[in-house]
């Protein structure tokens, strides 16, 4: 990792942080799923204020083909209306 055997020392805000050649750092990920993308800027801002947060990445997943088809069916009104769960079971047989 480093070329010499000595520790590497970085001065920062009147403190000294040392990284030893053989020390390993394990990065941990936290995955947050939001149901409302309007909250995203506030969540990102709050997370960026925490110490130890190195990077914030937003990943928007596209629905697969089966999910898109189901969403289209809902928009078109191609749905099953049921009175209760037993009615549902009878209609989907």
Report phi then psi at 51, rounded to 5. -70, 145
| Per-residue confidence (pLDDT) for residue 13, from 0 to 100 | 47
Domain range list for the chain = 8-91
State pTM to two decimals.
0.38
Using only C-alpha atoms, what is the Rg of the chain?
26
Evaluated on CA atoms 62, 68, 72, 73, the torsion sign reads negative
For 55-73, what is each residue's pLDDT tens digit?
888 887 788 999 999 999 9
């Amino acid at each position: 990792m480093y070329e010499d055997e000595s520790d590497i020392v970085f001065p920062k805000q009147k403190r000294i942080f040392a990284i030893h050649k053989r020390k390993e750092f394990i990065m941990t990920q936290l995955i947050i799923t939001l149901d409302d993308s309007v909250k995203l800027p506030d969540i990102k801002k709050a997370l960026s204020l925490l110490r130890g947060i190195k990077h914030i990445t937003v990943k928007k997943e596209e629905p697969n083909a089966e999910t898109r088809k189901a969403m289209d069916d809902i928009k078109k009104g191609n749905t099953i209306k049921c009175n209760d769960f037993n009615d549902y079971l009878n209609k989907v047989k």
